[in-house]
Structure 1
Amino acid sequence: MFWIIGATVLVIALIVGGGVWYANSGTDETPVAKDKDDKKDKDGKGDGTGTDDPAAGPAKEKAPADPSARQLFSVPMIYTGVGSRVYELPGSWLTDKVYAKTGLSEINGYDAVAGNRVWNLKLPGPVCSASGFQSDEGLTAVLHKSARPTKDDGGQCDRITVFDVRTGKTVWTKGVGSGEGSAVFTEVTVGGGTVAAGGSRGGYGWDLESGDQVWSPKPGDECYDVGYQGGSGGLAVIRKCTINTDQDQLFVQKLDPKDGSVSSEYKMPPGIDFAHILSVSPLVVGADVNEAAEDGSGISDFFSIDGRTGTLRARWPADAKTYGASCDAVAVSGCANFAVGGDRLYVPTEEHQGKKEAYSRTNEIVAFDLATGKLTGQRLDAGEDWELRPLRMDGPRLLAYRAGPYDQGSQVVSVDTRTMKTEVLLKTPDDQRSGSTIRHFVHEFSEILFGNGRLYFGQTMPEEEKKPVDPEEGVPYLALSFGGTH
């Protein structure tokens, strides 16, 4: 499937927006069953040990009378001019009023409708990893280098910065150690009021608002935290322990974000070098068992785990030739092309030949029951010459991106997960130039966000050098947005 997104977003299915977790928005059309491990604290917020299913609550995205959209704004492409792609630009966020996107050693906030830049946050070095989640107060975190790379020194990803997506103001910046003694991190996430980062020395946690260190690796510990996944449901971690020189053991642990203590633990089967957490609540993991996923998707099997007890609910194979969910090879939180809600996992099938002609392509979205690991029988067909990918849950409804043929615009659709009937929330223009421009974003180095009736595309890899633009092939942008015409 040609449109699998990169590890920086997971996104897509779990991006959050201003004031609320977009991943946790929902609809009140039908009640959604909660897992037995659903636990709330006295304030009514999840304590990070139970289930906070993103399919709970009312839907926020409503179908307009006319879903036709126009281009709202674009952000010019960044050209490195260095002859090789040494920079990545992971991270984009959305609130009611701001769309934020990483640049080269900076993050920029744009008016979500007009597109004018409303704030600029300078960083000492490039962003290495970005949390796809933000708190109710609009706070999120990025992992970045402490200096810009040079020809002789690529720099280290050793600094965590928390900032306010609404204003671009830095809340705090932290690192562990200094110089050659600095701890190097690989990815960062936010969950349960805590920032968590895993890396070469294990994992660290900081209070999201104050920056106070909540936990750090224990001296002499032969196990270490590889990486974390966050979100409105709290935090979970992949922990690796060395059994002997030839074998490592992985554990999936649900954490209390307040102190990093382990709430539950599941021991992964042998033959797994890396595991990926798709969702914290409900707890869903993907892994490449014995390197069986030959397509590079990073997933050969899915695991559904009880977040309260750590017991396995279901395990089932994910044939790489059939299903299109994908995880970065080594990133714990680097999965895309899926959505989790209502105790189901939604994934796209790989594109395949359509019914009409040999060159026609299409695909579907299907659902797995997290209690059994079996297909539910629900199936959403993209249609001849169209392709579908899950974006995120909107209550019991599933939001999906539907890419059209060259002469038709793309769509964002809302899916009733009981009947699999769809409503079109947004449709991009039908002209070939718009379609070609959008196709610059539909690949593994892109991010797609949808919220408040607006669609945002972002690149995570800048161009090496500027080239002449062929109008028929569209214009390469760093970011692009579409919204309603009324």
Structure 2
Amino acid sequence: MTQPPEQPSRSSDDPLRKQDPQDAPPPGYTAPPEPPAEPEPAASAEPGRDATTPPAPAAPPQPPAQPPAAPQGGFGAPQPPAGPAGRPPAQPGFGAPQHQPQPPAGGFGAAPSGYGTPQPGPYGTPQPGQPGPYAAGPYGRPQPGGPYAPQPGWQQPGAGGHPQGGAHPGAPWPPGAPQPQAGPATGSRNPFKTRPALAITAAAVAAAVVIAGGAWALVGGSDDTDEKAGPQPTQEAPSPEPTTSVDTGDGDGGGGEEVDINGERAPGESRVAWFKTAPDTPKGGSRAPGMWIVGDVAAKAAYKQLFGWKAADGGEAWKPVTFPEEICAVSRNTTEDGKVAVAYKSGSSDRAKCNRVQQVDLRTGEKGWEIEVEEGGLFDGTSDLSLSVAGDTLVVGRSQSGVAYDAGTGKKRYEIEKYGASCFPSGFAGDSERLIVAASCAAASAKEHDEIRELDPRTGKVRWTTSLDKGWEVEKAYSVSPLVVYAINRDKEQGSITVIGAGGRIGAHVQLDGKTEIDVRCSGFSIFNKALESCDFVADEQNMYLPTKNVTGPNEILAVSLDTGKEKWRVKSPADASMQPLAVENGKLIAYVRPTYDKGGQVVAVPTAGAHKPQRLLQNPAAGAQLETSFFTPDVAWSGGRLFLSVDMLTGNDDQEEKLMIAYAR
């Protein structure tokens, strides 16, 4: 990526402050200052497996819990296309077909086992701001002022552009690009020096696997999709609405080759409340981003349409909203009143921009305001956008800048532009009260580094700025409140999960034994900016809940203290399959247990205090295990006692109907 000329360099002789192991900052972080102590939630001593107890010897490899399914569609794990001139190609992600091989031992983030002494991590010390493009000393300091004040600059990371979900595991790559290879084995080298390494992986987001084998009592037909005219003339006839495709069954077992899933349920099994197939899409495939449960409406985007169904029975909540061109981005979160932002392309050619943004009320299906996002400067285009809701503000992220709009009216509020000498935004994340910005500074220079800052969502005023050490990149904001950041160092093949407190204060770093791999699922796709908030992550006031990675068989979920970064307890999946955390409700961790080839999935509740024994809430029918299994790495939601699964990519396979979304209930 072409950047402005290098600016004056910062001093690089700021020594690291020595600390006790329990106080030391995480890898790549310098020692934080001593701000007034913030009351932090006390970590209760909870029963469960002792975090210091050595794990049991590994069992010999077991056969897979389900037979491999042939990959469907054309979305493998390719390499992204090259960026603009002067910009390195995007780093490989981990979009992958089913049953992707496990990386070589000691690959990215791998390390010897055992707990080591904490070492400095990627973030510099947040300190009072100083004028000029760089703070005195090698580490960035928190700096006052608005978004245009002279501050350390932003730009794309030196390692190149990142597809949304890109370098972080979990992103699908465009069709046709080859699978990235795992990094070289590191042997006994511990990337965290005296601190044990954290092996980071995430479930790859692959193309939807179309229904194979027998049929699932497909019934119903295309529904009328007429609606009010969109903001521009529709250039192509809208696709038919997805069909309701599972015979709810009366116990007669269906007929022919059909499988009457509900009719063949065993006592105590949940039922398929409803099922939807996908609209017709081009042969090259298309995106199906986002899934939202708003009140009694379940909404899903696919290709050029946004659908709304009644969460209880799958009946039509409102007529599908059809866009003139393919949907290219959506806001992951909604506003407090249930509105979402949807971006669609300016045309159908390969050179079309992703620059039209439409507000839609998910409660009613009504369209609100619409805007056309202008191009920024050189290499700051709208080929890809990110959409982030922060309070009542919508931030539209371009390649190297962002524009903030009033989420209710669409009126422009402010721009988030280059600041300092050479700093450009690379990603945004928000929630009901906060706006987090990742920035990359001084590209291709000796002082290249990333920064994180918090802005006031309504005004854009900078609340604080924190710098990372050279070589470390902000990859994901796993959570905004609390702020939990995943950073990577590509050269050293290291990963870091770190809690950042009030004022940018660097808090706990996740400390695990070197044998545990974390498997956080991330999705989304973009070439020129990061999907900073594209991961499924669960945390409460005391803990973050991290799923471990298992190629076959059960995995575990770890409860890790937000105060110390240390494991407090862990719970094993109750089935011979992995489980992932979904939410915390009434003092219980809700988790989805994946199906096997002959057993349906489950939803379980794990008490966060006392005995951490999973309690089954739903047991999905075994008769539908093959269908449920074909939702490989799905978007998952739990709401109102119902489980919702959906795909986020469509293959465009004309030979069979593709699945889109399914709901289970008691």
2-structure distance, mates of 1:158, 1:320 = 44
| 1:160 to 2:357 alignment | yes
Query: RMSD of the alignment, in Å?
Result: 3.1
What corresponds to 1:77 in structure 2? Answer: 278
What corresponds to 2:500 in structure 1? Answer: 305
What corresponds to 2:589 in structure 1? Answer: 398
* Residue 290 of structure 1, CA deviation: 2.7
For the 8 Å contact 2:275–2:662, the answer to whether it is kept is: yes
What corresponds to 1:114 in structure 2? Answer: 313
What corresponds to 2:469 in structure 1? Answer: 269
| 1:314 to 2:504 alignment | no
For the 8 Å contact 1:276–1:286, the answer to whether it is kept is: yes
For the 8 Å contact 1:278–1:284, the answer to whether it is kept is: yes
What corresponds to 2:385 in structure 1? Answer: 186
| 1:139 to 2:339 alignment | yes
Structure 2 unaligned residues grouped into runs of 5+: 1-97, 101-168, 174-201, 204-266
SS in 1 for 2:481: coil
Change (3 A) 1:154 1:396: farther
**What is the one-letter code of the residue matched to 2:300?**
K
Structure 1 unaligned residues grouped into runs of 5+: 13-65, 294-298, 354-360, 469-474
For the 8 Å contact 1:390–1:401, the answer to whether it is kept is: yes
Matches within 5 A, 1:345-356: 345-351=544-550
* Aligned pairs, number: 400
Matches within 5 A, 1:289-438: 289-290=489-490, 300-306=495-501, 308-316=502-510, 322-327=517-522, 331-351=530-550, 361-376=553-568, 378-394=569-585, 396-419=587-610, 420-431=612-623, 434-438=624-628
Change (3 A) 1:217 1:256: closer
Spell out, residue by residue over 1:219-253, the C-alpha distance to the aligned partner (whole angstroms, 9 max, x if none): 77632222211223422111222265465321111
2-structure distance, mates of 1:320, 1:465 = 40
What corresponds to 1:95 in structure 2? Answer: 294
Change (3 A) 1:452 1:67: farther
2-structure distance, mates of 1:267, 1:439 = 43
1-structure distance, mates of 2:660, 2:447 = 43
**What is the one-letter code of the residue matched to 2:490?**
N
- Choose the corresponding residue for 1:200, options 399, 404, 419: 399
For the 8 Å contact 1:325–1:335, the answer to whether it is kept is: no
Change (3 A) 1:389 1:91: same
**What is the one-letter code of the residue matched to 1:275?**
E
**What is the one-letter code of the residue matched to 1:126?**
E
- Choose the corresponding residue for 2:410, options 196, 204, 211: 211
**What is the one-letter code of the residue matched to 2:320?**
N
For the 8 Å contact 1:78–1:463, the answer to whether it is kept is: no
Matches within 5 A, 1:231-310: 231-242=431-442, 245=445, 248-290=448-490, 300-306=495-501, 308-310=502-504
Change (3 A) 1:439 1:163: same
2-structure distance, mates of 1:461, 1:129 = 13
* Residue 334 of structure 1, CA deviation: 4.5
* Residue 154 of structure 1, CA deviation: 4.3
SS in 1 for 2:643: strand
For the 8 Å contact 1:233–1:280, the answer to whether it is kept is: no
**What is the one-letter code of the residue matched to 1:216?**
E
* Residue 292 of structure 1, CA deviation: 5.3
For the 8 Å contact 1:6–1:447, the answer to whether it is kept is: no
2-structure distance, mates of 1:209, 1:337 = 26
SS in 2 for 1:157: coil
2-structure distance, mates of 1:238, 1:6 = 19
**What is the one-letter code of the residue matched to 2:468?**
M
SS in 2 for 1:254: strand
* Residue 193 of structure 1, CA deviation: 1.0
**What is the one-letter code of the residue matched to 1:340?**
A
What corresponds to 2:631 in structure 1? Answer: 441
For the 8 Å contact 2:650–2:658, the answer to whether it is kept is: no
For the 8 Å contact 2:479–2:533, the answer to whether it is kept is: no
What corresponds to 2:86 in structure 1? Answer: none
SS in 2 for 1:270: coil
Answer 1 or 2: which has greater strand percent: 1
Spell out, residue by residue over 1:66-114, the C-alpha distance to the aligned partner (whole angstroms, 9 max, x if none): 97421111111334342x23x2111111122211111221211112122
**What is the one-letter code of the residue matched to 2:661?**
A
What corresponds to 1:45 in structure 2? Answer: none
Larger Rg: 2
For the 8 Å contact 1:315–1:373, the answer to whether it is kept is: yes
* Residue 453 of structure 1, CA deviation: 0.9
2-structure distance, mates of 1:331, 1:197 = 12
2-structure distance, mates of 1:196, 1:7 = 24
Spell out, residue by residue over 1:264-304, the C-alpha distance to the aligned partner (whole angstroms, 9 max, x if none): 222122212442111111111002223555xxxxx821011
* Residue 2 of structure 1, CA deviation: 6.0
Change (3 A) 1:277 1:180: closer
Change (3 A) 1:421 1:155: same
| 1:175 to 2:372 alignment | yes
Taking structure 1 as the reference length, the TM-score comes to: 0.75
SS in 1 for 2:626: helix
2-structure distance, mates of 1:126, 1:292 = 39
2-structure distance, mates of 1:176, 1:466 = 34
2-structure distance, mates of 1:113, 1:274 = 40
What corresponds to 1:467 in structure 2? Answer: 655
| 1:224 to 2:430 alignment | no
What corresponds to 1:61 in structure 2? Answer: none
* Residue 313 of structure 1, CA deviation: 0.6
What corresponds to 1:20 in structure 2? Answer: none
2-structure distance, mates of 1:116, 1:218 = 45
**What is the one-letter code of the residue matched to 2:471?**
G
Percent sequence identity over aligned pairs: 25
| 1:481 to 2:663 alignment | yes
